[in-house]
């Protein structure tokens, strides 16, 4: 059974790591006469309690990643993954797990995070899932391989691209238009970007679609402008125009940087406008290629509803929306308070928030382009102490300095929207010395079949 330089083991999956892979610890004899050696294994596509057979290359090392060769004892909720790319693609890690089990795992993750931070885990409600946990994404980013193949990154091998056939977490129209672009690139023998040599033309394809309006955006990221590819560009415009009239924004974006990100130094509108319209919770938004907007609109509306329910905004109150972005939470709350101040470090997002407020007839907002820590000081000085503060920080959290600023502001109620239970728990711990008490936490599943989970939480100031 063992292959060269490898050793075969029967192992039990003890738990899952932060990326959703099974974890197992075994003790094995690595040399005759020597004491057993501890080996920590990471085994993707396995579930807690399963017994699997793996062959480990170089088992003398302390940590190894191993592929399950056979599931000897399966979890009772194990199912056959629906997607043909599941074994290789890094997009979804839980398609082999019944959805109810995924939700339980996410609830447990949130409870463990806040318990480690010293809070009562019983404050965490069961994770709010989706009725239909498929085709939920309104934005996808695909990558070109050096040979021009368009697809998604292989799990555990960022440089390898899995050729796209389907994607079950985005809308079928989005997959169809991406495959059309893939065919177009092959037809014109356009090269993809090589991350090693930093050569090649096409880097990424971003596809956005509004579930509310149906409008789509296609953004091609390339290492040079479209001028040298006039014939190919004309063909692309014709293909998209004839087959996908819902594409209202077709962009060619130049990116010469080595960093593997969807960024642009120069934009070219091939057809349509440079933005699309979307709607959320009854409000209309303009989305550009670099606009951050919730990628699951169905569950994002639930986030907004929960935040409103927990925050209980009143017409007589002032409010701060920290990390406000383009106003996803600002606009619904502004309709219910006297005044709202939004703070966001990204200037283009603040410009969008102002425009979105105007588009929706909202005039009681003030948006400030500044980092959270200094923005709070400026707003408190000119705005006064608000009764309500909402924050929706990035995955890294708000950080201790910002949280202590919030604590010193002494607002009555704080609504925290989080995409990372671990940083959320560490952040809210900073508020306890300032007299705040955690009242409730509601996890929401915005990303079915992945490890990610969002939370909406309420903290209230109490006497100390």
Contact 326, 356 (CB under 8 A): yes
Between CA 383 and CA 366, with CA 307 as vertex, the angle to 5 degrees is 25
Contact 251, 220 (CB under 8 A): yes
Question: How many residues are recorded in the chain?
Answer: 464
Which parts of 195-345 are beta strand (E)?
202-209, 216-222, 247-254, 266-272, 276-280, 283-287, 318-322, 339-344
Contact 392, 323 (CB under 8 A): yes
Non-local (6+) Cβ contacts of 283 within 8 A are 327, 331, 332, 356, 360
419 is catalytic: yes
How many Å is the Cα radius of gyration of the chain? Answer: 24
Give the 3-state secondary structure of 130-197: CCCCCCCECEEEEEECCCCCEEEEECCEEEEEEECCCCCCECHHHHHHHHHHHHHHHHCCCCECECCC
Provide φ and ψ at 322, rounded to 5°: -95, 140
Among residues 89, 167, 419, 455, which one is catalytic? 419
Catalytic residues: 419
């Amino acid at each position: 059974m063992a292959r060269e330089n490898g050793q075969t083991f029967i192992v039990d999956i003890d738990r899952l790591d932060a990326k959703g892979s099974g974890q197992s610890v075994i003790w094995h004899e690595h040399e005759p006469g020597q004491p057993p050696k501890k080996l920590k294994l990471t085994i993707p596509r396995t579930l807690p309690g399963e017994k699997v057979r793996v062959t480990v290359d170089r088992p003398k090392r302390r940590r190894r990643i191993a592929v399950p060769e056979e599931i000897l004892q399966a979890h009772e909720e194990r199912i056959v993954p629906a997607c043909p790319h599941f074994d290789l693609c890094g997009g979804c890690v839980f398609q082999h797990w019944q959805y109810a089990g995924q939700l339980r795992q996410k609830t447990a993750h949130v409870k463990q995070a806040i318990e480690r931070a010293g809070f009562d885990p019983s404050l965490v409600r069961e994770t709010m899932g989706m009725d239909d946990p498929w085709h939920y994404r309104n934005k996808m980013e695909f990558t070109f391989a050096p040979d021009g193949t368009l697809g998604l990154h292989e799990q555990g091998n960022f440089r390898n691209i899995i050729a796209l056939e389907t994607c079950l977490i985005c809308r079928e129209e989005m997959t169809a238009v991406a495959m059309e672009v893939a065919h177009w690139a092959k037809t014109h023998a356009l090269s993809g970007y090589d991350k090693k040599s930093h050569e090649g033309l096409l880097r990424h394809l971003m596809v956005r679609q509004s579930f509310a309006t149906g409008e789509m955006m296609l953004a091609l990221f390339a290492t040079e402008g479209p001028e040298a590819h006039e014939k190919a560009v004309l063909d692309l415009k014709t293909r998209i125009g004839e087959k996908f009239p819902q594409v209202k924004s077709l962009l060619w974006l130049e990116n010469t940087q080595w960093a593997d990100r969807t960024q642009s130094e120069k934009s070219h509108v091939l057809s349509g406008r440079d933005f699309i319209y979307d709607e959320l919770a009854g409000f209309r938004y303009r989305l550009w290629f670099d606009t951050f907007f919730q990628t699951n609109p169905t569950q994002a509306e639930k986030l907004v509803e929960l935040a409103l329910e927990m925050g209980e905004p009143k017409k007589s109150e002032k409010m701060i929306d920290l990390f406000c972005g383009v106003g996803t939470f600002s606009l619904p709350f502004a309709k219910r308070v006297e005044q709202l101040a939004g703070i966001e470090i990204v200037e283009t997002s603040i410009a969008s928030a102002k425009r979105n407020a105007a588009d929706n007839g909202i005039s009681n907002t003030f948006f400030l382009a500044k980092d959270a820590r200094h923005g709070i000081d400026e707003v408190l000085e000119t705005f006064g102490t608000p009764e309500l503060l909402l924050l929706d920080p990035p995955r890294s959290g708000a950080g201790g300095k910002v949280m202590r600023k919030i604590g010193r502001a002494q607002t009555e109620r704080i609504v925290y929207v989080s995409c990372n239970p671990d940083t959320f728990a560490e952040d809210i711990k900073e508020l306890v010395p300032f007299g705040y008490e955690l009242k409730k936490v509601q996890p929401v599943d915005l990303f079915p079949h992945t490890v990610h989970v969002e939370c909406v939480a309420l903290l209230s100031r109490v006497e100390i």
